[in-house]
Amino acid sequence: MLVGFATHDDAAVYRLSARQAVVSTVDFFPPVVDDPFAFGQIAAANALSDVWAMGARPLFALNLVAFPTQALSTETLARILEGGQSKTDEAGIPILGGHSVDDPEPKYGMAVTGVVHPRRILTNAGGRAGDVLLLTKPLGSGIATTAIKRGIASPELERNVVELMSRLNRAAGEVFASGRFPVHALTDVTGFGLLGHLTEMALGAKLRARLFLERIPILAGVPALAEQGVVPGGTTANLEHFGAHVRFPDGLPDPVRWVLADAQTNGGLLAAVPRAAVRKAERALARARVDAAIIGELVRGVPGIDVH
């Protein structure tokens, strides 16, 4: 076993030989949007992301389905599965089977298997003092999907967040795993939000993270929704759980804290890259058509986060 529970990482890694290790991950959840095809796309993209977040390459997936066969049509289930298939097709891997159960609440996701060289694994715990933090997607999908559920999201925000959540992290993952520049730590920002996943990165590296508020990308419309109190339970739970590790500026409003802690679905990749390699990383990501923002740095100090 090379990666297990200890670092709260994105996937398990088990060495098969001196040159190959198998990567295994699983993720599934209830619908976050009404459209079944879009839900399938989002769930599949989210499950696949954990493999790229380890610097690995996915090989195949298995479907995980819970579905209320008496309450919803088989056409709805077919559309969910078609959405998932569209994303594995885009990722260039097959779905080789799966398992389904009858359940009052629909749920969908995947177990994904990948491979990586044992010396090329990227965990969330390898950050070093002086590293720069890069984030490849804006924050706000949890708040945005809560607004959709309440019927108060604008059509533009709904389109934007569906596109964001269903967008594969393949391009960014392949750039970070390419070896063209050093990457000390890598994770994806999902259910624990930026503050949660960065806390794990800081604790794993035994370093302190500095976050620069003005540099953090946020979906347009999300700050206004947070001001209205449109916040999912997972986001407030994140702030409560990880807040002890975070030092906020005096008087920072709760809505800003909620955005930083917002529980994401298939959020971006968060990478710790040596300062000397940042320009090379930015150029490589730009060539891959990945928008990346420099949002902070790792420094020596008590493990945790300082928000500036």
- Buried-exposed string 258-267: b where 16+ CB fall within 10 A, e elsewhere: bbbbbbbbbb
Q: Look at residue 254 in the predicted model and tell me its pLDDT.
A: 97
pLDDT < 50: residue spans in the chain: none
Q: Packing angle between helix 141-149 and helix 233-242, nearest 10 degrees?
A: 150
48 in Cβ contact with 90 (< 8 Å): no
Nearest to residue 208, comparing CAs of 246, 257, 241, 259? Answer: 246
Please tell me the distance from the alpha carbon of residue 117 to that of residue 134, in angstroms, as a whole number: 23
Distances (CA, A) of 170 to 25, 137, 218, 246, 253: 16, 13, 21, 30, 35
Please tell me the distance from the alpha carbon of residue 304 to that of residue 308, in angstroms, as a whole number: 13
Please tell me the distance from the alpha carbon of residue 298 to that of residue 273, in angstroms, as a whole number: 10
Amino acid at 81: L
This prediction has a pTM of 0.96
Amino acid at 219: L
H helical segments located in the chain: 36-52, 74-91, 141-149, 155-166, 170-176, 193-205, 222-227, 233-242, 254-261, 278-287
For residue range 158-180, list pLDDT tens digits in order: 999 999 999 999 999 999 999 99
Write the DSSP symbol of residue 265. Answer: S
Q: Look at residue 6 in the predicted model and tell me its pLDDT.
A: 79
Report the DSSP pairing between strands 95-102 and 132-135: unpaired
Amino acid at 238: N
Q: Look at residue 272 in the predicted model and tell me its pLDDT.
A: 98
How many other C-beta atoms are found inside a 10 Å radius of the C-beta of residue 77? 19
- Buried-exposed string 179-188: b where 16+ CB fall within 10 A, e elsewhere: eebebbbbbb
Which domains does the chain possess? 12-120 (3.30.1330.10), 132-307 (3.90.650.10)
Q: Which residues pair with 140 in a beta bridge?
A: none
For residue range 33-49, list pLDDT tens digits in order: 999 999 999 999 999 99
Q: Look at residue 117 in the predicted model and tell me its pLDDT.
A: 97
Write the DSSP symbol of residue 150. Answer: T
Q: Look at residue 5 in the predicted model and tell me its pLDDT.
A: 80
Q: Report the alpha-carbon angle 87-219-91, nearest 5.
A: 15
